A and B are shown apart, each in its own frame.
Chain A
Amino acid sequence: MINFLLEPWPWYVAGPIISIVMFLLIYFGGSFGMSSNLRTMCSIGGAGKFVDFFKIDWKSQLWNLAFVLGSIIGGFIAYKFMTPDVSIQLSEATISKLSELGFTNPGSQYLPEEIFGMEQITSISGLAILLIGGILVGFGTRYAGGCTSGHAISGLSNLQLPSLIAVVGFFIGGLLMVHIIFPFIY
Chain B
Amino acid sequence: MKYIKYILAGILFGIVMVKAETISWFRIYEMFQFDAFHMYGIIGSTVVIGIIGTYLLKKNKVKNIYGEPIEFAPKNFSVARYLIGGIIFGLGWALVGACPGPMFVLLGTGFLPILIVIFGALVGTFLYGALKSRLPH
In terms of DSSP, what is the predominant structure of the interface of chain A?
Answer: helix
Contacts A131-B119, A169-B82; is A82 near B96 (CB within 8 Å)? Answer: no
Verify A134–B117 contact, CB threshold 8 A.
yes
Inter-subunit contact B7/A66 (CB<8 Å): yes
A138 touches B19 (CB 8 A): no
Q: Known A75-B106, A143-B135, A148-B101; judge A90-B36 contact (CB<8 A).
A: yes
Do A70 and B92 touch across chains, with their CB atoms under 8 A apart? no
Find out whether the CB atom of A166 lies under 8 angstroms from the CB atom of B82: yes
Which residues does chain B contribute within 8 Å of A29, judged by CB atoms?
64-66, 68
A169 in contact with B44 (CB, 8 Å): no
Cβ-defined contact, B6 with A137, below 8 A: no
For residue A98, give the distance in angstroms from its CB to the closest CB of chain B: 7
Please measure, in the bound complex, the distance between the C-alpha atom of A35 and the C-alpha atom of B54, giving whole angstroms: 21
Assuming the A-B contacts A26-B64, A74-B18, A78-B19, are A152 and B43 also in contact, with contact meaning beta carbons closer than 8 angstroms in the complex? yes
Q: From residue 70 to 87 of chain A, which have CB atoms closer than 8 A to chain B?
A: 70-80, 82-83
> What is A's interface to B at a CB cutoff of 8 Å?
8-30, 34-35, 37-39, 41-42, 45, 47, 50-54, 62-64, 66-80, 82-83, 88, 90-91, 93-94, 97-98, 106-107, 110-112, 115-116, 120-121, 127, 129-145, 147-149, 151-163, 165-179, 181
Residues of B within 8 A of A (CB): 2-33, 35-51, 53-54, 57, 64-66, 68, 70, 72, 74-79, 81-101, 103-111, 113-114, 116-130, 132, 135
Show 22 A/B contacts (Cβ-Cβ < 8 Å), sorted by A: A15-B45, A15-B48, A51-B130, A72-B14, A74-B108, A77-B14, A88-B21, A88-B26, A94-B36, A131-B120, A133-B117, A137-B117, A142-B85, A144-B88, A158-B54, A158-B72, A165-B83, A170-B87, A172-B87, A173-B93, A174-B93, A175-B90
